[in-house]
Amino acid sequence: MSTSSQKTALVTGGAGFLASHLTDRLLSEGFRVIGIDNFITGSLANIEHLSGNENYRFIKQDVTQYLFVNEPVDFVFHFASPASPIDYLEHPIPTLKVGSLGTHNALGLAKAKKARFLLASTSECYGDPLIHPQTEDYWGNVNPIGPRGVYDEAKRFAEAMTMAYHRYHNVDTKIVRIFNTYGPRMRLRDGRVVPAFIGQALTGQPLTIFGDGSQTRSFCYVSDLIDGIYRLALSDFHEPVNIGNPREMTIRQFAEEILRITGSHSQIETHPLPVDDPKVRQPNITRARKVLGWEPKVAFEDGIATTIDYFRTRI
């Protein structure tokens, strides 16, 4: 049970890529952690190393159902949601429900427990942006009825509800807008560009580029992202904060880097661009630097090498 000297954090989506790394960070900082996941996209392999840890407890549950936790909770981290295009196109209704009902339940728990609440939001709130790089005061350019709208609008609604609970119920809330993040524990076939390119390069398959590959992304290593989230959780700031690495590259440049680092002889193959695929993506992290004293530290070459080594063990 939680003691006066030990804080308890509840993490929804706890068996997911990012949430499992957040759990490790919280445990290393002396927290007790309760993880919740229904395994739609989470993996038991991401948390199996925590088996037997007296400061970790896992509950298998869908967070769109009523959350009951019969003990003190000091922090609620709401990370539950499908997060890759393959996942939210396959599970459109659960994606909308976890962003709405799941966020409502997680906020209700935080209110009842008088806990701090942190929402894992996304750079997808900016849609296919008309300003570059993206700042937190930009309202976005999102197609609400397009195929990606189930994820984009679920997160935008979640942000609105989070701010409503802050303003109306005085819940201590935080919102992190997460930009492209990579590292160990990503699913090899989750449809995102990092595992897709690495998996294809390591198995000698063509690297599939959508469009002409001129669209840009900015890649942040997972330990940097988690450090920013941890700092935000402990801060007194309530507006959204971008966390990501401003180092921008085109998708074609990224593919060429993966081929170079892996030594693969795979070819690059082009396919039609998906509907509403963002043309640019780069975080302006001025707010994170000023408010949190945060900026990414892991060089792309180091982070991607570690990630490639991880995937070599999974193929």
pLDDT digits 0-9 by tens, 283-293: 999 999 999 99
Which among 56, 88, 126, 151 is annotated as catalytic? 151
* Per-residue pLDDT, 236: 98
Three-state secondary-structure class, residue 244: coil
Instruction: State pTM to two decimals.
Output: 0.96
**Nearest residue to 47 (alpha-carbon basis) of 26, 63, 70, 72:** 26
* Per-residue pLDDT, 170: 98
* Per-residue pLDDT, 3: 47
Its CATH class, for the domain covering 8-183+220-245+283-298, is alpha beta
Q: Is the pLDDT of residue 243 over 90?
A: yes
Mean pLDDT for the stretch of residues 138-152: 96
Helices (H), the chain: 17-28, 85-90, 92-97, 103-113, 149-169, 193-202, 222-234, 251-262, 286-287, 300-312
Instruction: Give the C-alpha separation, 283 to 285, whole Å.
Output: 6
3-state DSSP helix/strand/coil % of the chain, to nearest 5: 40, 20, 40
* Per-residue pLDDT, 210: 92
Q: How confident is the model at residue 4 (pLDDT cuts 50, 70, 90)?
A: low
Q: How confident is the model at residue 2 (pLDDT cuts 50, 70, 90)?
A: very low
Model pLDDT for residues 254-277, shown as the tens digit of each residue: 999 999 999 999 999 999 988 888
Model pLDDT for residues 101-131, shown as the tens digit of each residue: 999 999 999 999 999 999 999 999 999 999 9
Instruction: Give the C-alpha separation, 72 to 135, whole Å.
Output: 36
Contact assessment for residue 138 and residue 48, using Cβ atoms and an 8 Å cutoff: no
The yes-or-no answer on residue 151 being catalytic is yes
Q: How far is CA 101 from CA 78, 93, 106, 107, 245, in A?
A: 12, 11, 9, 10, 31
Other CB atoms within a 10 A radius of the CB of residue 151 amount to 26
**Nearest residue to 281 (alpha-carbon basis) of 143, 146, 151, 127:** 127
- Residue 12 bridge partners (DSSP): 36, 78
Domain ranges of the chain: 8-183+220-245+283-298
**Nearest residue to 143 (alpha-carbon basis) of 134, 130, 153:** 153
Model pLDDT for residues 154-196, shown as the tens digit of each residue: 999 999 999 999 999 999 999 999 999 999 999 998 889 999 9
